[in-house]
């Protein structure tokens, strides 16, 4: 019995020992596993913390810089394995939302800055225009060369001022303003010359008869002025800036050569990008001092359909800028002096002295031929003109006019309107538009004799 | 003097005269007559060509030339004195032969003035 008890006790002890050992072993294993796991988690937390720190210290600042227009690359996550876990994706999402919000805010700020600048420049522009009118009026009124000298200087400065304002406004998305009539290419180039500082150095060599269509005059003048200004600015003060016209099969090229310094490859790339006019101009990225020339040319070229390149070297070592105007922007206009010569009313002196009973319908036709003072303007008499004029007096008298008594009308009298009628409304319009083309030698005829 | 439409002329006077305001000679007044003495216009600026074209047919007064060019008279004088210097035009005083105006013409002028005023 005692022996049995002993055996049982030993067995119990063995079992207990076994259980305790087993538990100890298990405990040990669990502890080890937990320790490993804690280690893993700790390192995971470390990685994430580093990642957050990286986000705050490197990624977001870089993003801010790139939003501010600096050429900075935004770095990716430190640990590339994080890309595939939700944590990394969330961080990327933060970056994304941040840049989106930043971009939107920047666009809004840009828009409002442009709108403000545009409105301000419009004010400056209209002031410059008004000033130009005042200057022109003074130039017409004062005959003193000393006064004129001052006026020419003021006019020159005002033209530059107006151009600056115009350029800034165009950069902000405004129209160039000032609608002009179609103008000869030579005048367009010289108009551009009027608006730059070193206008005396610009030499226009060839002459062409083509003109620029009305809507493109001001933009082309502006673009040319920027190019000419660039050319003059980047060359020695004693070197000329040459302008030549090169007819092409589908347009006309205006070639501007300077003898200054050539552009570096980097500058050329920038110029090419800007001149293409494909990207919207960021007024915050123009540099200091702002380089607006190429940007504004690019905007105008893209909007009006001409092409500008600066990638050729001029034979004088400087830059050759080529403005290509496609046929669509070109037209032909009649030479003004020729129109003036063609239209004169040859009124022989005796005819003028005749007291003329004015037909009631006549003033309609005579209206444009009034001079500013209402007095007859003296005109050269061309006998050839006179002869041809004498022939067709009938058409003028014909259309619903209360019988102008053909017999009593002096030969020079109804002849001019007749000729104009025959020449067609177009010619008549041109004549009136040129203002000087028509003459009134009977404007006083209404007075009772 | 210029009509308003020329107030915004594309080519400004300082380019037309090359920045000069003083004519090389002081022989012009409003009614001085100018006559072209040459036909070739090579090498002239567009405005000078126009002057030559205008003066080819006969005498024009300075005022008329200015009106045709739509330029101020003082600017026109600079151009004209250049052309005189280069021998392209000659001038003639306007008062050379004042053909005595007939009574009729005077009466017409008087009537015209009365009608205006």
ipTM of the complex: 0.77
Nearest to A221 by CA among A273, A275, A171, A176: A176
d(CA B28, CA B30): 7
Nearest to A282 by CA among A62, A63, A60, A66: A66
pTM here is 0.66
Task: Identify whether the C-beta of residue B65 lies closer than 8 Å to the C-beta of residue A380.
Answer: no
Task: Identify whether the C-beta of residue A161 lies closer than 8 Å to the C-beta of residue A197.
Answer: no
Tell which A residues from 130 to 159 touch B, by Cβ distance under 8 Å: 132-133, 136-137, 139-146, 148-149, 151-153, 155-156, 159
d(CA A422, CA A417): 8
Output the pLDDT for position A435. Answer: 64
CATH number, position B25: 1.10.10.10
Residue span of the structural domain in which B111 resides: 4-116
Quick check: A241 contacting B, CB < 8 Å?
Answer: no
Report whether the peptide linkage leading into residue A285 is cis, meaning its omega lies within 30 degrees of zero.
Answer: no
Number of separate domains in chain B: 1
Per-residue pLDDT of A188-197, as tens digits, reads 999 999 999 9
All residues of chain B having their beta carbon less than 8 Å from the beta carbon of residue A381 are 58
Tell which B residues from 30 to 69 touch A, by Cβ distance under 8 Å: 46, 50, 53-54, 57-61, 64, 67-68
Which of B14, B18, B44, B78 to probe the A interface (max A CBs under 10 A)? B14
CATH 3.30.565.10 fits A183-332, yes or no: yes
d(CA A389, CA A379): 15
Pairs of residues, one from chain A and one from chain B, whose beta carbons lie less than 8 Å apart: 134
Residues forming beta bridges with residue A245, ordered by sequence position: A254
Q: Per-residue pLDDT for A186 more than 70?
A: yes
Exposure string (b/e) for A371-410, b if CB count within 10 Å is 16 or more? eeeeebbebbbbeebbeebeeebeebbeeebeebeeeebb
Quick check: A444 contacting B, CB < 8 Å?
Answer: yes
CA distances from A290 to A68, A282, A439 (A): 16, 11, 52
CA distances from B26 to A20, A138, B20, B84 (A): 131, 21, 14, 11
Per-residue pLDDT of B22-81, as tens digits, reads 998 888 888 888 988 888 888 888 889 889 988 888 888 999 999 999 899 999 999 999
d(CA B117, CA B115): 6
Per-residue pLDDT of A364-421, as tens digits, reads 444 445 555 555 555 554 444 444 444 444 444 444 444 444 444 444 444 455 455 5
Output the pLDDT for position A219. Answer: 93
């Amino acid at each position: 019995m005692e022996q049995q008890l002993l055996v049982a006790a030993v067995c119990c002890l063995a079992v207990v020992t076994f259980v305790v050992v087993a538990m100890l072993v298990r405990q040990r294993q669990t502890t080890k596993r937990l320790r490993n796991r804690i280690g893993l988690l700790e390192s995971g937390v470390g990685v994430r913390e580093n990642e957050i720190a990286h986000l705050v210290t490197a990624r977001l600042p870089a993003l801010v810089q790139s939003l501010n227009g600096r050429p900075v690359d935004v770095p990716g996550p430190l640990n590339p394995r994080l890309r595939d876990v939700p944590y990394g994706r969330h961080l990327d999402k933060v970056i994304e939302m941040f840049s989106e919000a930043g971009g939107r805010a920047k666009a809004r700020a840009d828009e409002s800055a442009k709108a403000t600048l545009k409105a301000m420049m419009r004010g400056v522009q209209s002031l410059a225009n008004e000033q130009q009118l005042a200057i022109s009026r003074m130039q017409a009124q004062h005959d003193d060369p000393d006064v004129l000298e001052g006026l020419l200087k003021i006019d020159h400065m005002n033209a530059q001022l107006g151009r600056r304002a115009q350029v800034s406004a165009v950069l902000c998305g405004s129209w160039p303003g000032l609608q002009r009539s179609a103008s000869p290419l030579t005048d367009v180039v010289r108009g551009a010359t009027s608006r730059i500082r070193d206008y005396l150095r610009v030499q226009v060599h060839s002459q062409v008869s083509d003109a620029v269509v009305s809507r493109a005059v001001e933009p082309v003048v502006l673009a040319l002025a920027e190019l000419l200004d660039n050319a003059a600015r980047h060359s020695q003060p004693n070197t000329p800036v040459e302008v030549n016209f090169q007819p092409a099969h589908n347009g006309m090229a205006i070639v501007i050569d300077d003898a200054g310094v050539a552009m570096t490859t980097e500058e050329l790339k920038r110029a090419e990008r800007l001149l293409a006019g494909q990207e919207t101009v960021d007024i915050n990225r123009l540099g200091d001092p702002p380089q607006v020339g190429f940007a504004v040319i690019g905007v105008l070229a893209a909007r009006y359909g001409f092409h500008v390149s600066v990638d050729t070297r001029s034979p004088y070592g400087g830059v050759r800028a080529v403005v290509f105007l496609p046929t669509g922007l070109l037209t032909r206009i009649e030479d003004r002096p020729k129109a003036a010569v063609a239209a004169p009313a040859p009124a022989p002196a005796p005819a003028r002295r005749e007291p003329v009973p004015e037909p009631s319908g006549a003033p309609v036709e005579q209206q444009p031929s009034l001079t500013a003072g209402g007095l007859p303007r003296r005109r050269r008499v061309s006998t050839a003109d006179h002869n041809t004029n004498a022939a067709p007096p009938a058409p003028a008298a014909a259309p619903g006019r209360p019988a102008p008594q053909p017999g009593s009308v002096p030969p020079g009298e109804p002849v001019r309107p007749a000729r104009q009628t025959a020449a067609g409304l177009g010619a008549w319009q041109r004549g009136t538009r040129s203002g000087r083309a028509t003459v009134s030698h009977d404007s006083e005829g209404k007075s009772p004799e | 003097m210029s009509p308003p439409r020329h107030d915004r002329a594309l080519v400004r006077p300082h380019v037309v005269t090359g920045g000069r305001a003083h004519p090389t000679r002081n022989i012009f007044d409003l009614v001085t007559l100018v006559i072209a003495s040459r036909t070739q216009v090579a090498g002239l600026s567009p405005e000078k060509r126009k002057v030559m074209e205008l003066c080819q047919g006969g005498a024009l007064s300075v005022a008329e030339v200015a009106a045709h060019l739509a330029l101020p008279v003082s600017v026109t004088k600079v151009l004209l004195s250049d052309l005189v210097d280069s021998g392209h035009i000659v001038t003639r005083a306007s008062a050379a032969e004042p053909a005595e105006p007939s009574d009729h013409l005077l009466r017409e002028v008087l009537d015209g003035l009365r009608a205006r005023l």
